[in-house]
Structure 1
Amino acid sequence: MRLPLFPLQLYLLPGGISKLRIFEARYTRLVKLAMASSDGFGLCMKDDDKICHFGTRAIITDFESLPDGLLGVTIQGVDKFIINDYWHEDDGLHFGDVSLMDNWSKTEIRSIDRDVPNTLRVLLKEYPEHSVNYPTPDFEDMTWVCQRWLEILPLDTTQKQWFMSRNDHRAALSFLHGVIDEKYRNN
């Protein structure tokens, strides 16, 4: 699959929602291309000046004219992908040949893991800027919970890429138990 790429330090996983401000001509072009196709665009991170291997295919779900005259778009992550090759065109817009990866399967919450969604629920109440994008959160799906946690936590690019490369949520869940348990030991 060929996608226009938007390299940002934004970490968005399938099911994740975010808002972007579009102010460069090349990304206005990306928005036009994404709106003209059901494929959307590829959101990918950079490590120094190099585009990372894994990204998320995103679709535009809404757009608005912002008070400063810029274009605002709301995006939602759909699929993870791996970049096989990428290049940029004369206007600086990157494109990539990508292969879609399987998304993590919806997984029921086990009673032993209840602290993970419960602490996310508390965190989202404390920080409404994160929760505003999720009017109907799915605290009963461990995959959804793990992905939202990974989007919020201040992880370095290498860690984020590693989690994105996993086939399921189990590594993220194990990591999150360690983070949550550490927080409660220190309080």
Structure 2
Amino acid sequence: MAEMLPLLFQKRHVLPSGRMQIYISTVDQVPTLKTALTSKSGLGICMYSDKKEAQHLFHIGTRVTIDDFDQDPNTRLLKLTVSGQDNFKIQSIEQTTDGVFWGKTTPLPRWKAITINNEQRLLATRLKKMFEKFPDLDELYKRKDFDNLSWLCQRWLEILPLPAVDKQKLLNKPTCLNTYDYLMSMIKTSH
């Protein structure tokens, strides 16, 4: 069933069960924030690319809830902490007179939890090291699910600077197994 969601466009992506801090402009994105805070549906975060040769809005996004927000005293930016709830596919986008972008969205099924096996444990080990190296990232996650391959793959898709088009293709798959194969091929070619 289609649902209308207020949308924000980001270069980074948050996925279900993920948490992220994003920055929005107090100049032109506050109406979207106000709409999201009063909406029962939450807010949609969508990826975009602003490369001159390939400007593009991507069709898969994540409905998020806003956990916290704070104004940066040195800039005209608001820092939001958001939690990913579920993915959606954008059917159409319209902009209202107050500048809010609304997406007509349909939900995508969540990847089912898959208990990792010994071969897949490498992804968990490396993610634990990443969390140790970046305490701000570690602090975002009160609950970590290192034994769940779907959770691991989604965290890696959030963290790694992969091309957005690749992330979108992987998110369009019914399970995390294609993402696992993609991540493992990256690890094997880096050695």
Length-normalised TM-score, structure 2: 0.88
Cα distance, 1:25 vs structure 2: 4.2
Distance 1:56 1:11 in 2: 8
Distance 1:117 1:161 in 2: 22
- Corresponding residue pairs, total: 184
2:145 to 138, 153, 165: 138
Note if contact 1:4-1:96 (Cα within 8 Å) is conserved in structure 2: yes
Residue in structure 2 matched with residue 29 of structure 1 by the alignment: 31
Unmatched 5+ stretches in structure 1: none
Alignment of 1:1-187 (within 5 A): 1-48=3-50, 49-68=55-74, 70-183=77-190, 185=191
Note if contact 1:26-1:93 (Cα within 8 Å) is conserved in structure 2: no
Note if contact 2:150-2:176 (Cα within 8 Å) is conserved in structure 1: yes
> For 1:144-182, what per-residue CA distance to the aligned partner results, in whole angstroms no more than 9, with x for missing partners?
111001111111111011111111100011111112223
For the aligned residue pairs, the C-alpha RMSD in angstroms reads: 1.7
Between 44-53 and 145-154, report the one with greater CA deviation.
Answer: 44-53
Length-normalised TM-score, structure 1: 0.90
Structure 1 runs, 4 residues or longer, greater than 6 Å off: none
Note if contact 2:26-2:77 (Cα within 8 Å) is conserved in structure 1: no
Distance 1:153 1:95 in 2: 28
Distance 2:113 2:26 in 1: 37
Note if contact 2:31-2:99 (Cα within 8 Å) is conserved in structure 1: no
Distance 1:124 1:177, change over 3 A: same
Between 93-102 and 15-24, report the one with greater CA deviation.
Answer: 15-24
Cα distance, 1:72 vs structure 2: 2.3
Note if contact 1:108-1:142 (Cα within 8 Å) is conserved in structure 2: yes
Note if contact 1:11-1:160 (Cα within 8 Å) is conserved in structure 2: no
Identity among equivalent positions (%) equals: 30
